[in-house]
Structure 1
Amino acid sequence: MSYFPLSLLSWQDAVKAVFLGRVHIVSEYDHEIHSPSFQMRLPSVVALKDYVNMDRRPAFTRFHVFLRDGFTCQYCGVQERSENLTFDHVVPRCQGGGTSWENIVTACQACNLSKGGRSPGEARMPLMSWPRCPSIHELNANGQGYPPNYLHESWRDFLYWDTELEGETEGAILQ
């Protein structure tokens, strides 16, 4: 069972995947999209038609970097919502650093600006943890702490299977 979206698609990519027959629409938003000859409700949750092995290397995405780092700036330790975070090249691009799992960390905007084009040592900003490629299982475990108020309501039925249900359960008898 997965606790986080394995992929976040733009609405354009989701619609394209529907038309290419790669996904099933599981849930939809109320919002409709239109063309001159077609209209459809926008998909909010889709499921791949073909199984994807979970033991593979996870996709290198901004969301997965934030999830690996717990939505926490790796320089100052502040935890933020994703829209307030950036990613930072540990070895700056101007010094030959690449954009990969092993060189990207989550940073708040203030720390990213403060560090600039310097290494953490040059900027005197030590890292809380060194960047590395996580496993899918590690991302899944980190996803259990994914901020619940960030998700669209239509996703909740598909992501939170282990949350306590509302209502009276004490003294209930199963028949």
Structure 2
Amino acid sequence: MPDGGSHYPALVLNADFRPLSYFPLSIWAWQDAVKAVFMDRVAVLSEYETEVRSPSVSMKLPSVIALKEYVPSARRPAFTRFNVFLRDCFACQYCGDPFPTHDLTFDHVVPRSKGGRTAWENVVTACSCCNLRKGNRLPRECRMWPRNPPRQPTSWELQDNGRAFPPNYLHESWRDFLYWDSELEG
């Protein structure tokens, strides 16, 4: 019997054969994928060599599945720290350098003490050094302007940005399904 699912995750595609999410990548544990197969909610597109057995049934574990009913994505993404980082491609909007998530903060372009709100239109990704340097000042006071003006992204933009950051684990059977809709270089 397979382990708790960490070695046999199934890539989950929407009914249009695109991942439900690129970042984080939409994957299910093997148990959830098998259950969805038996409930006839998904189509199996690719399988692992590993099988699971019951007294009456034997089946290969699904590695790629597609939902039979299309699930529309949210029109407005949630305003979260992670989604701000994803919108800004994990790069400080002041110095332009990319950083791992644990080294990022977010900055209120108009500080809260000066009436700035904690909202898409006023928050940008910043490294600790730039955030400290800007402090509690307006961009014109410290001559630090964000490279990209803060704004609310669409869900599609966040998904598109997420495609640039592949997960640590990609099974070979997933590759064709993850990037088939990418623009080809000429």
Q: TM-score range by the shorter chain?
A: 0.5 to 0.7
Task: Assess, with a 3 A threshold, how the Cα gap between structure 1 residues 88 and 6 changes in structure 2: closer, same or farther.
Answer: farther
1:83 and 2:102 are equivalent in the alignment: yes
Distance 2:159 2:174 in 1: 11
Query: How many pairs does the alignment contain?
Result: 121
Distance 1:26 1:117 in 2: 43
Query: Who is 1:124 aligned against?
Result: 143
Structure 1 residues without counterparts, runs of 5 or longer: 8-24, 29-49, 165-175
Query: Who is 1:46 aligned against?
Result: none
Query: Who is 1:104 aligned against?
Result: 123
Residues 5-58 of structure 1, C-alpha deviations (whole Å, 9 max, x = no match)? 289xxxxxxxxxxxxxxxxx9228xxxxxxxxxxxxxxxxxxxxx986315200
Residues 148-173 of structure 1, C-alpha deviations (whole Å, 9 max, x = no match)? 4xx454xx459864369xxxxxxxxx
TM-score of the superposition, structure 1-length normalised? 0.60
Distance 2:102 2:114 in 1: 27
Task: Assess, with a 3 A threshold, how the Cα gap between structure 1 residues 55 and 96 changes in structure 2: closer, same or farther.
Answer: same
Picking from 26, 29, 37, the partner of 1:27 is 29
Report the secondary structure of 2:99's partner residue.
Answer: coil
Query: Who is 2:163 aligned against?
Result: 144
Query: Who is 1:92 aligned against?
Result: 111
TM-score of the superposition, structure 2-length normalised? 0.57
Task: Assess, with a 3 A threshold, how the Cα gap between structure 1 residues 61 and 112 changes in structure 2: closer, same or farther.
Answer: same
Residues 122-153 of structure 1, C-alpha deviations (whole Å, 9 max, x = no match)? 1111210100000011111111111x4xx454
Task: Assess, with a 3 A threshold, how the Cα gap between structure 1 residues 122 and 110 changes in structure 2: closer, same or farther.
Answer: same
- Residues 5-16 of structure 1 mapped to structure 2, 5 A cutoff: 5=24
Residue identity opposite 2:129 in structure 1? A
Shift of 1:61: 0.9
Residues 49-101 of structure 1, C-alpha deviations (whole Å, 9 max, x = no match)? x9863152001111111111011100010111111100000000110111000
Structure 2 residues without counterparts, runs of 5 or longer: 1-17, 31-68, 181-186
Picking from 53, 56, 60, the partner of 2:75 is 56
Distance 2:24 2:77 in 1: 12
Distance 2:121 2:179 in 1: 34
